């Protein structure tokens, strides 16, 4: 599963006061920091795996699978 499969669309309210928006921002920032403290190595490994290109597939040697063009 890729990261894009795990994303959730969130609608942002347009009625928050600047203070409310700042409180949410600080909460998310604190949550991010705590997650990194606990899972940083695993997160880095997962990101590295996502960014590593897959090796190209080898062509089949089975003549019955050949397609005529």
Helix (H, G, I), strand (E, B) or coil at 29: helix
Please write the tens of the pLDDT for every residue from 51-67: 888 777 776 666 665 55
Question: What are the boundaries of each domain within the chain?
Answer: 17-50
Q: What is the pTM of this model?
A: 0.56
Please write the tens of the pLDDT for every residue from 8-48: 788 889 999 999 999 999 999 999 999 999 999 999 999 99
- Which of 57, 51, 56, 55 has its CA nearest to residue 2? 51
So what's the pLDDT on residue 5?
63
b/e 32-63 (16+ beta carbons within 10 angstroms → b): eeeeeeeeeeeeeeeeeeeeeeeeeeeeeeee
């Amino acid at each position: 599963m890729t990261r894009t499969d795990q994303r959730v669309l969130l609608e942002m309210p347009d009625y928050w006061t600047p203070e409310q928006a700042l409180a949410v921002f600080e909460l998310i920032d604190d949550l991010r920091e705590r997650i990194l403290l606990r899972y940083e190595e695993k997160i880095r490994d997962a990101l590295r795996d996502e960014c590593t290109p897959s090796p190209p597939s080898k062509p089949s040697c089975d003549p019955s699978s050949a397609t005529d063009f």
